[in-house]
A and B are shown apart, each in its own frame.
Chain A
Amino acid sequence: MAKTYDYLFKLLLIGDSGVGKTCILFRFSEDAFNTTFISTIGIDFKIRTIELDNKKIKLQIWDTAGQERFRTITTAYYRGAMGIMLVYDITLEKSFENIKNWIRNIEENAAADVEKMLLGNKCELNDKRQVSKERGEQLAIEYGIKFMETSAKASINVEEAFLTLASDIKAKTEKRMEANNPPKGGHQLKLTESRTKDSWLSRCSLL
Chain B
Amino acid sequence: MSDELPEQFDLVVIGTGFPESCIAAAASRIGKTVLHIDPNDYYGDVWSSFNLEALNQLLEQPSPSLLNASYTWHDAATETNWTREALLAKSRRFSLDLCPRIAYSNGELVKLLIKSNICRYAEFRALDHVCMLYNDELVSVPCSRSDVFNTKTLSIVEKRLLMKFLTACADNGEDKCNEDTLAFRGRTFQEYLEAQKVTPKIASCVLQAIAMCNANTSFEVGMQRTQRFLGSLGRYGNTPFLFPMYGCGELPQCFCRLCAVYGGIYCLKRSVDNICQATDSQELLLSSAGKTLRATHVVSAPGYLPGMVCELQPHISRGLFIASSALGSEELNKGGGGVNLLRLLADEGKREAVLLQLSHYSGTCPEGLFIFHLTTPAVSNDPAADLAVFTSQIFKAPAPQILYSAYFTLTTPTNTALSPVKSVYCTAAPAYELDYDAAIENAHQIFSQLYTDAEFLPRAPDPEEIVVEGEDPSALNENSLPEDLRAQLQEMDITE
Verify if B87 is at the interface (C-beta below 8 Å from A). Answer: no
Looking at the assembled complex, report how far the CB atom of B96 sits from the nearest CB atom of chain A, in whole angstroms: 13
Q: With A and B bound together, what is the CA distance between A71 and B124 in angstroms?
A: 27
Looking at the assembled complex, report how far the CB atom of B25 sits from the nearest CB atom of chain A, in whole angstroms: 12
Residues of B74-101 contacting chain A, CB below 8 A:
92
B160 surroundings in chain A (CB, below 8 A): 207
Verify if B192 is at the interface (C-beta below 8 Å from A). Answer: no
Asked whether B230 lies within 8 Å of A32 as measured between CB atoms, the reply is no
Asked whether B123 lies within 8 Å of A188 as measured between CB atoms, the reply is yes
Asked whether A204 lies within 8 Å of B113 as measured between CB atoms, the reply is no
Chain B 33-65: CB-based contact to A (< 8 A → 1; otherwise 0):
000000000110000000000000000000000
Verify if B122 is at the interface (C-beta below 8 Å from A). Answer: yes
Asked whether B233 lies within 8 Å of A70 as measured between CB atoms, the reply is no
The answer to whether residues A201 and B471 also contact, given A66-B265, A186-B124 and a CB cut-off of 8 A, is no
Q: Which of A36, A41, A108, A201 has the most CB of B within 10 A?
A: A201
Asked whether B233 lies within 8 Å of A199 as measured between CB atoms, the reply is yes
Tally of A-B Cβ pairs under 8 angstroms: 153
Q: With A and B bound together, what is the CA distance between A190 and B113 in angstroms?
A: 10
Q: With A and B bound together, what is the CA distance between A67 and B124 in angstroms?
A: 24
- For the residues of A in contact with B, the DSSP-based class is loop
Asked whether B1 lies within 8 Å of A17 as measured between CB atoms, the reply is yes
Verify if A42 is at the interface (C-beta below 8 Å from B). Answer: yes
**Which stretch in B200-208, B251-259, B422-430 binds the other chain?**
B251-259
Interface residues on chain B, size class: 35 or more
**Which stretch in B344-352, B389-397, B456-464 binds the other chain?**
B456-464
Verify if B418 is at the interface (C-beta below 8 Å from A). Answer: no
Q: With A and B bound together, what is the CA distance between A195 and B107 in angstroms?
A: 13
A52 surroundings in chain B (CB, below 8 A): none
B residues within 8 Å of A by Cβ? 1, 3, 42-43, 92, 106, 110, 113-114, 119-126, 144-145, 148, 159-160, 163-164, 166-167, 170-171, 230-231, 233-237, 242, 245-246, 249-250, 253-254, 256-257, 260-263, 265-268, 361-363, 460-461, 463-464, 466, 468-471
Beyond known contacts A47-B464, A75-B253, A187-B124: 10 more, CB 8 A cutoff: A17-B1, A32-B470, A74-B256, A74-B257, A75-B43, A75-B250, A186-B126, A189-B113, A189-B236, A201-B166
A residues within 8 Å of B by Cβ? 17-18, 26, 30, 32, 34, 36-38, 40-47, 65-67, 69-72, 74-77, 79-80, 108, 184-191, 193-196, 199-204, 207
10 shortest interchain CB distances as A-B pairs: A200-B145, A76-B253, A65-B260, A74-B253, A189-B119, A72-B266, A207-B163, A186-B245, A186-B125, A17-B1
